[in-house]
Structure 1
Amino acid sequence: MRRWLDGEQPREPIPQILSELFSERFGCVVGIEDLGLRAVHRSPSVSGVDLPWAGPETVALIGEFSRSDLMLARRGFLGTSLGLSAGPALIEPMQRWLVPSPGGQPGGAKAAGGGRTRRVSRLSEPELELLESTIVMFRAWDAQCGGGLRRKAVVGQLHEVTDLLQEPHADAVSRRLFKVAGELAQLAGWMSYDVGLQPTAQKYFVLALHAAKESGDRPLGSYILSSMSRQMIHVGRPDDALELIHLAQYGSRENATPRTQAMLYAMEARAYANMGQPSKCHRAVKMAEDSFADCAGGDGDPDWIRFFSEAELNAENAHSYRDLAYVAGRSPTYAKMADPVMRRAVRLFGQEIENDAGPQRSYALNLIGMATVHLLQKEPEKAAAVAHEALPLAKRVRSERVNNRLRKTVDTAVRQFGDVPEITDLGERLATLMPDNPETTGPGRAV
């Protein structure tokens, strides 16, 4: 360490490991340069988010990254080969999502053809529909079971789709395949985010956005950007989150359904809340509610946005108020505003999971969110009651977000109200049911 302080540069992967350790410890992105060290250049397929916006390169990058993930999907590899981008290094490359592609043509067929004339493959309509329906199934699994159970299956399916994209297809088929690749890459990123693989998640999100651009699906791109925005809130970068959401809103302004618009406004509110801007947060919450009120059954919502139910709307808005309370020094005013909205979210999620096929993870996260609101209002007995409800759900779903959030909430309760019998009992039950130490993946808020 003394030699490093004197100016000597440690060899790779030491700088990246130090960056990750400090980022985990402080709950925000600490870059290699922030430590006074020099970052070593790596190929775009391994690290970085500033990738070429072209179909053939997108196919190659997704194929290479998904293959590496499948072969070396352990924290030892992923942690030392990736870094989390933030600030201009993240935002500026994503802005090129809006730049029209040359000729407006997808690039999958060209990737394999190398400029030669080749017979277009005969991928049948039933085969395409089967690929698309598989994504719906994977999403349902993720909502019910958490990202840890089926992540590798999603990555494997994504890799298979890149193999298909290496073949020549009619333009319409290529666009549909790129859309499938974009949705699968987004889901792989979301599952990686859920289990705490933050740099891996970000790389999948970026690749998903590239695939969505090739498909010509702007609303899908906006959804991917919203996932990136949520991740930035999770790692303590709400200003980056806001930039990403505004980019999503601008890019999909002409063709996003009211449900998608409502989701984007709700995420905008989350960003403003974490930036400590209550008036702008309130405005975004109202816009989310108004847009959601315009939703109708015949809006033609794609499957990826159907998760955004009335329960999700209330959950996002409640967490915005809760986050405002945190930013304002545990303000009882904002905690009181969050209380009825969070209660409504918990009740609605409870109704959705009555048949055991609903969003178990979302229900667990919002039970935990309700517990945090009770703690903010100095109601430890009520906090313990809802946290007890979350425990069996946390045990059932494979989600680091749920586990870490529950542990942090219980730790806070024990620290503040350790003399309350209900809190003592909660801490003991948590230690019995979930004895493993949590892996810190970000600041202590459910996102």
Structure 2
Amino acid sequence: MSGSGAGGTNAGKRPNEQLGSWFVRSGWSKGELARQVNRRARQMGAHHISTDTSRVRRWLDGEQPREPIPRILSELFSERFGSVVAVEDLGLRSAHQSPSVSGVDLPWAGPQTVALLSEFSRSDLMLARRGFLGTSLALAAGPALIEPMQRWLVPAPAGEPRRPEPAGSSRRPSRLSRPELDLLESTTMMFRQWDAQCGGGLRRKAVVGQLHEVTDLLQEPQPEATSKRLFKCAAELAELAGWMSYDVGLQPTAQKYFVLALHAAKEAGDKPFGSYVLSSMSRQMIHLGRPDDALELIHLAQYGSRDCATPRTQAMLYAMEARAYANIGQPSKCKRAVRMAEDTFADAGLDGEPEPDWIRFFSEAELNGENAHSYRDLAYVAGRSPSYASLAEPVMERAVELFGRDEEHQRSYALNLIGMATVHLLKREPEQSVVLAEKALDVARRVRSERVNTRLRKTVDTAARDFGDVAEVVDLTDQLAAQLPEAAEAV
């Protein structure tokens, strides 16, 4: 057998006519296809693949190759013809789950990104009951996550000239107008506002449905400028679908959408938004207790957007860097990142240039909230340090004050009320903590955010454990049991 891992099962010696048809139209020789497969396999880290002309001949004769060969062939032919050529279109079958429902190491190619976005959003719409789609996914972490994401910075290879559609294609040219594109973009902004005000549980499926519609448009022939705008729209919708999934507790689903959003951002040529996607992934890793991964992701975001991000975006990235350092337990680096976030934020908007809608959330309130949470996290990592809790208190108070005036960001208001309650617990002031937690409970009943609910439950549990003999804490525990809704099904 030529090359471990490149072989497969013999399909009854029946020639693979579908693969043969695509192969003939490609104009490649068997040796050229073998070399491309080997090169792509090395890029993926599959160094055990060693294909030659005799192996390609066997595939054409009907042998079914093992993974990752079917995925590699799909990627190569998709790039060659400028349209999606699925594994099934090649007469091949995958021995494992398709990339859309397993893993994050996906091909950085436009047609494949569109196909995976389409497949995953369709699966989510059809199958997403709490835990159903999620159980087929596994969270990636460590090198399995970081190394594929580093390819975001690798320049895309020079594309092949677009080829004619395969014979029999029924696609017609798109007639997408500029006003329709404007409407798609404004709809994404509206979804983002709903999420901030109402939580991720209320409109998640609507966002996923809109994403699926955009991927349908991307599968039609489009002018390059239109295609870039559609990829940008897809990236923003995928990130928002990921954020909403994160907010309602569907962590593997959220990570998948974030990864797909980063791929779409690269196709759109939007490095600042790509850095924002990586910051969302970093925040998720902090939430999941993996601050080292969070720091790697945020450094990747900073490096990739160092020459194009606005001061507001840079300030947001510094604030997330501080959160990661706090959770790792590096106070000096955390404090430096906090100062960088504050100094850079002071420059936001001074040049008069309009900023993208997706970074508008990072206001003075959000800056104070992030920095206060960094100090609060430092306090926990340092063994419930009262000195770090005292650093957090005035900054968190400012965040609560500002968010209290902001009807649009009710979830952030609730999260910062809870953060302030935890600061008072660290300072052994349970009565003050209860006052803030009760306010957070009132907001939590109005927003559909499992993240808010979980943090509030955890804070009240901590209060009950440490101050169970305080009457106000006992009363709050009873209120929580009676009023806080159970984990809602993701919708």
* Normalised-by-shorter TM-score class: 0.7 to 0.9
Q: 1:104 and 1:343 mapped to 2: Cα distance?
A: 53
Superimposed CA distance per residue, residues 221-269 of structure 1 (whole angstroms, 9 cap, x where no aligned partner): 0000000000000001000000000000011011100000000000000
In the other structure, the counterpart of 2:8 is: none
- Pairwise CA distance, 1:338: 0.3
Out of 302, 305, 318, which is 2:356 matched to?
302
**RMSD value, Cα:** 2.0
Superimposed CA distance per residue, residues 174-222 of structure 1 (whole angstroms, 9 cap, x where no aligned partner): 0000000000000000000000000000000000000000000000100
Structure 1 runs not aligned, ≥5 long? 1-39, 440-447
- Pairwise CA distance, 1:123: 1.1
Out of 474, 483, 486, which is 1:424 matched to?
474
- Pairwise CA distance, 1:103: 2.9
In the other structure, the counterpart of 1:31 is: none
Out of 184, 187, 197, which is 2:250 matched to?
197
In the other structure, the counterpart of 1:147 is: 200
Q: 1:181 and 1:76 mapped to 2: Cα distance?
A: 25
In the other structure, the counterpart of 2:215 is: 162
- Pairwise CA distance, 1:422: 1.2
Q: Is the 8 A contact 1:113 1:168 kept in 2?
A: no
Out of 335, 340, 355, which is 2:394 matched to?
340
In the other structure, the counterpart of 2:380 is: 326
Q: Is the 8 A contact 2:228 2:268 kept in 1?
A: yes
In the other structure, the counterpart of 2:158 is: 103
Q: Is the 8 A contact 1:267 1:316 kept in 2?
A: yes
TM-score (norm 1): 0.85
Out of 202, 208, 224, which is 2:277 matched to?
224
Counterpart of 2:130, as a letter, is: R
- Pairwise CA distance, 1:119: 7.1
Q: 1:338 and 1:421 mapped to 2: Cα distance?
A: 26
Matched position secondary structure for 1:381: helix
Instruction: Count residues in correspondence.
Output: 393
Q: 2:174 and 2:199 mapped to 1: Cα distance?
A: 36
Q: Does 1:380 align with 2:434?
A: no
Structure 2 runs not aligned, ≥5 long? 1-94
Q: Which gives a bigger RCO, structure 1 or 2 (Cα 8 Å, sep 6+)?
A: 1
Q: 1:72 and 1:437 mapped to 2: Cα distance?
A: 18
Residues 181 and 92 from structure 1, CA distance in 2 versus in 1: closer, same or farther, beyond 3 angstroms? same
Q: 1:244 and 1:293 mapped to 2: Cα distance?
A: 24
- Pairwise CA distance, 1:41: 4.3
Out of 338, 341, 344, which is 1:285 matched to?
338
Out of 170, 186, 193, which is 2:239 matched to?
186
Q: Is the 8 A contact 2:171 2:220 kept in 1?
A: no
The correspondence of residues 128-143 of structure 1 with structure 2, limited to 5 A, is: 128-143=181-196
Q: 1:428 and 1:117 mapped to 2: Cα distance?
A: 62
In the other structure, the counterpart of 2:320 is: 267
TM-score (norm 2): 0.77
Residues 173 and 117 from structure 1, CA distance in 2 versus in 1: closer, same or farther, beyond 3 angstroms? farther
Residues 341 and 102 from structure 1, CA distance in 2 versus in 1: closer, same or farther, beyond 3 angstroms? same
Q: 2:376 and 2:422 mapped to 1: Cα distance?
A: 8
Structure with greater Cα Rg? 2
Q: Is the 8 A contact 1:120 1:170 kept in 2?
A: no
In the other structure, the counterpart of 1:32 is: none
Give percent identity, aligned residues only: 77
- Pairwise CA distance, 1:429: 1.1
In the other structure, the counterpart of 2:45 is: none
Q: 1:93 and 1:430 mapped to 2: Cα distance?
A: 42
